[in-house]
């Protein structure tokens, strides 16, 4: 059991202020960022793949992972509203090594997610324009310069700080809610036009017991994760001990409605038209099915793709912000070189961390574009990124159970019980994430590759930590001081 003790809560604000960060995020910004981070457009397609069991699976996932996540983030942030979020919580609960590895896994997850999000944009753009733009995603002469410009824009925005970045995140969160509003309204449009649609968002059916359904369930359980990510920027939030918890309370019903009603719309229109669900772009596909393959349907489909592109850019910007803050806070704690913690003299942002993360993401983009074998390596790393995030969640849920005693004593027993549920649910998804939900991928080789990549990435992180933080030998001839 860890004997690492958390610093007193009363010192939290002073600790953050010592690093002179600019507090930019209001409650409104936090709520919109929660929606932006948690809600992804592809999840409603994956959940619709479960058929009419989707509502029961969503309710189950909210009960076993989302609710424990929301409660534990609320309490841990209240105790330690510090820049770094989960990294700081884990370090105070389990010590430097565990804290560093948690930050390493979140950082690796964020880098691969950003690269993947940027890779989506050329395909989304070509889908929005139509068949005449189908050549764009395969053209390196268009894709690589475009992604380079977008990455440079993300880096410059990160250097400028949340005074600018929060508006990008707010607009993106609003765009995401607008896209879902159109999706949720589509069945009522169908009813008004007397289409024989079977829209039943609150039916409760048990899912199938086949391996594909279980893999989809594992995906859906972890779909609503991400509430803790905003805590990485607690030092840049106004009244973080109050507002981050309040943002969870406000955003949660919005998130739940978007997921359940959005999935029901996707399922209803695909049953009506007997079409196959497009797991990559289920919302534009559903709106085209809803409004017809005519001028109106094309307009709404293109509008939603445009809104989702805004969401992708905003999500990439938000995750990038968190990715650059983790090395900064680890540098404050002297776990990595303090070079990562140097702040811009005017904007108070970690410019060196921004530069380093940008170079790493650029390398991933090049890897994903450098031929078939490199693309397979990129896809494998991207698939394994969910395992990195799952490891971080396992540590988060373990804090009230086996973390530092002084911290555990300040967390109610019922929160610890919920954390045990969340830990088991995360462990379940950790194993299911190694199973492909598409029937065309051989399960065993896929699982072996995911497990090996996860182990290698963590071994590299641990080796880096040990090289950087070697135990200092004590001198045998030390003269005692009085």
Q: What is the pLDDT of residues 174-207, one digit of tens each?
A: 999 999 999 999 999 888 888 889 888 888 888 8
Q: Over the chain, what is the mean pLDDT?
A: 86
Nearest CA to 325 out of 130, 6, 35, 88 is that of 88
Q: Among residues of the chain, what percentage have pLDDT more than 70?
A: 90
- CA dist list (Å): 245 to 116, 252, 328, 394, 436: 30, 11, 24, 21, 35
480 or 262: whose pLDDT is higher?
262
What per-residue confidence (pLDDT) applies to 472?
56
User: CB under 8 Å to 372, separation ≥6 — which residues?
Assistant: none
Residue 368: its pLDDT value, please? Answer: 76
DSSP characters over 280-322: SSHHHHHHHHHH-SSHHHHHHHHHHHHHHHHHHHHHHHHHHHH
DSSP 349: -
Q: Is 344 helix (H, G, I), strand (E, B) or coil?
A: coil
Q: What is the pLDDT of residue 8?
A: 44
Asked whether the predicted pLDDT for residue 439 surpasses 80, the reply is: no
Q: Which two tokens stand for residue 471?
A: 């135990």
Residue range 302-312: mean pLDDT, rounded: 88
Q: How far apart are CA 202 and CA 187, in angstroms?
A: 14
The mean-pLDDT minimum among 351-360, 373-382, 448-457 falls in: 373-382
Identify the band that residue 457 occupies on the pLDDT scale cut at 50, 70 and 90. very high
% of the chain exceeding 90 in pLDDT: 53
Three-state DSSP state, 237? strand
Q: Let me know: does 399 contact 93? Beta carbons within 8 Å.
A: yes
The least confident of 31-40, 223-232, 273-282 is: 273-282
Question: 35: closest CA among 235, 242, 232, 256?
Answer: 256
16: its two tokens: 């953050």
Q: Look at residue 12 in the predicted model and tell me its pLDDT.
A: 47
Three-state DSSP class for 350?
strand
Chain centroid to CA 120? 16
Name residue 25's beta-bridge partners.
237
Phi, psi of 347 (to 5 degrees): -90, -10
């Amino acid at each position: 059991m860890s004997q690492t003790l958390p610093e007193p809560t009363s010192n939290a604000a002073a600790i953050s202020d010592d690093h002179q960060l600019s507090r930019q995020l209001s409650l409104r910004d936090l709520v919109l960022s929660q929606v932006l981070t948690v809600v992804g457009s592809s999840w409603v397609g994956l959940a619709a793949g479960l058929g009419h069991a989707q509502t029961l699976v969503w309710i189950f996932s909210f009960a076993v992972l989302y609710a424990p996540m929301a409660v534990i983030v609320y309490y841990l942030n209240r105790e330690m509203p510090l820049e770094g979020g989960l990294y700081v919580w884990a370090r105070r609960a389990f010590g430097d090594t565990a804290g560093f590895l948690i930050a390493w896994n979140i950082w690796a997850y964020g880098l691969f997610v950003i690269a993947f999000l940027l890779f989506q944009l050329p395909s989304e753009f070509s889908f929005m324009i139509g068949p005449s733009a189908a050549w764009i995603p395969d053209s390196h002469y268009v894709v690589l310069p475009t992604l380079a410009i977008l990455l440079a824009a993300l880096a410059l925005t990160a250097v400028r700080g949340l005074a600018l970045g929060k508006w990008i995140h707010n607009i993106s969160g609003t765009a995401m809610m607008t896209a879902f509003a159109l999706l949720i309204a589509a069945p009522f449009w169908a009813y008004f036009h007397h289409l024989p649609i079977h829209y039943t968002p609150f039916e409760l059916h048990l899912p199938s017991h086949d391996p594909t359904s279980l893999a989809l369930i594992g995906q859906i359980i972890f779909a609503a994760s991400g509430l803790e990510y905003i805590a990485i920027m607690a030092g840049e939030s106004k009244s973080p001990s109050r507002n981050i918890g309040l943002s969870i309370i406000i955003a949660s019903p919005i998130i739940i409605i978007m997921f359940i009603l959005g999935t029901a719309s996707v399922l209803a229109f695909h049953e009506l038209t007997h079409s196959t669900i497009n797991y990559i772009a289920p919302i534009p596909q559903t709106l085209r099915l809803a409004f017809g393959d005519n001028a109106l349907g094309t307009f709404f489909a293109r509008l939603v793709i445009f809104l989702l592109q805004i969401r992708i850019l905003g999500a990439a910007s938000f995750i990038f912000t968190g990715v650059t803050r983790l090395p900064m806070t680890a540098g404050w704690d002297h776990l990595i070189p303090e070079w990562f913690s140097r702040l811009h003299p005017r904007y108070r942002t970690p410019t060196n961390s921004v530069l380093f993360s940008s170079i790493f993401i650029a390398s991933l983009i090049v890897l994903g574009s450098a031929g078939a074998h490199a693309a397979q390596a990129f896809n494998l790393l991207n698939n394994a990124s969910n395992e990195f995030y799952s490891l971080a969640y396992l540590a988060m849920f373990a804090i009230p159970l086996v973390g530092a005693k002084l911290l555990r004593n300040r967390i109610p027993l019922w929160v610890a019980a919920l954390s045990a549920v969340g830990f088991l649910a995360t462990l379940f998804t950790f194993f299911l994430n190694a199973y492909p939900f598409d029937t065309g991928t051989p399960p065993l080789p896929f699982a072996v590759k995911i497990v090996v990549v996860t182990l290698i990435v963590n071994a590299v992180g641990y080796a880096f930590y040990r090289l950087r933080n070697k135990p200092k030998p004590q001198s045998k001839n030390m003269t005692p001081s009085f």
